[in-house]
Amino acid sequence: MSLLEVEGLDKHFGGLYAVRNVSFTIDKGEIVGILGPNGAGKTTLYNLLTGFIAADRGRIVFNGQSLRGKPPHRIARLGISRTFQLCRPFVGMTVRENVIVGALGTARGGRADLDARARALLASVGLAGKEDVAVDVLSYGDQRRLEIARALAAQPTLLLLDEPFAGLGTGEIGDLSALIRKVHAEQGLTVLLIEHKLREFMRLVQRVIVLDFGEVIARGTPEEVVAHPAVIEAYVGRGNEPMAEGANAA
């Protein structure tokens, strides 16, 4: 049985379908990428998976349990955690306090346990020594690391990363990609990662599901999808970066 099963998922806003008849499965331990141009429906898909918005039709089954109709906090307790396109730290708190807040919904134990877990997570993402720094003075790259630490604080089985490389320079992207590989291996996570470009994405993922106008237009290995005619049309045909760059990097 797959860890995550999505079948026939639809979501429309008025007459516009943001997600239409989307189906895929994710097996335990995979790193799978959701690729697509801007406006392809990637973030809407994440919002459906995590209960931020309700689907109009379709099935979402995680670890044998249906997620349809469940609120975000219950989905988080089942083992799904996410980051967001835009970093959303709790301003006015320290870095450590931000991670503790991320653990509150699923934590068992007292304040000392939460504090110890927060410190361990911050060390694991490269933020050791910054535990008591005000979150608003962190660099943007460190805010991205904090987002991952805060998501991991909920002790997920499935980690959803929403454009984690957005706004980062080349060196920062490489470092963050190495961090994602590290937490995937060390914590036995399954990772679903969405992006719309960037070479590092193709190096990182094992399989790719490509969305365009809310529909799945291709799926396969990175090498397979970058050569798919529909994917080439979605990117090159609209003036985005050539998919061949991803193929060379994969």
**Which residues lie below 8 Å from residue 20, measured CB to CB, with a gap of 6+?**
10, 12, 41, 213, 214, 215
Q: How many domains does the chain have?
A: 2
Same domain, yes or no, for 71 and 187? yes
One domain, residues 226 and 173: yes
Domain stops at, among 114, 136, 155: 155
pTM score, whole prediction? 0.89
163 and 145 fall within a common domain: no
CA distances from 37 to 122, 161, 205, 219 (A): 32, 16, 17, 15
Sequence-distant (≥ 6) Cβ neighbours of residue 102 within 8 angstroms: 149, 150, 151, 152, 153, 154
Question: Do 65 and 181 have their domain in common?
Answer: yes
pLDDT value at position 104? 84
- Domain shared by 189 and 221, yes or no: yes
> Which 3 state secondary structure label does DSSP give 5?
strand
**pLDDT at site 106:** 67
The pLDDT score that the predictor gives to residue 184 is: 95
pLDDT tens, the chain, 250 aa long: 799 999 999 999 998 999 999 999 999 999 999 999 888 999 999 999 999 999 999 999 999 999 999 999 999 999 999 999 888 898 999 999 999 998 887 666 567 788 999 999 999 999 999 999 999 999 999 999 999 999 999 999 999 999 999 889 989 999 999 999 999 999 999 999 998 766 889 999 999 999 999 999 999 999 999 899 999 888 877 544 445 454 444 3
Position 144 in a domain: yes
Q: Are residues 141 and 35 in the same domain?
A: no
Helices (H) and strands (E) in the chain, counts: 10, 10
45 and 166 inside one domain: yes
Structural domain that includes position 133? 89-155
Map residue 250 onto helix, strand or coil. Answer: coil
Shared domain for 162 and 66, answered yes or no, is yes
Residues in the chain, overall count: 250
pLDDT at 110: 65
Any domain includes 84: no
Q: Are 11 and 44 found together in one domain?
A: yes
Task: Tell me if 195 sits within 8 A of 201, measured CB to CB.
Answer: yes
What is the pLDDT, as a whole number, of residue 108? 62
**39 and 162 together in one domain:** yes
Establish if 241 belongs to a structural domain: yes
Q: What is the pLDDT of residue 195?
A: 85
**Cα torsion at 25, 74, 96, 180 (round to 10°)?**
0
Alpha-carbon span 210 to 200, nearest angstrom? 16
Residue whose C-alpha is closest to residue 9's, from 36, 49, 39:
49
Residue-level pLDDT at 125:
95
Domain boundary among 103, 122, 155: 155
Question: Is-contact 211 45, C-beta < 8 A?
Answer: yes
Domain check: are 195 and 181 in the same one?
A: yes
- What is the SS3 assignment for 42? helix
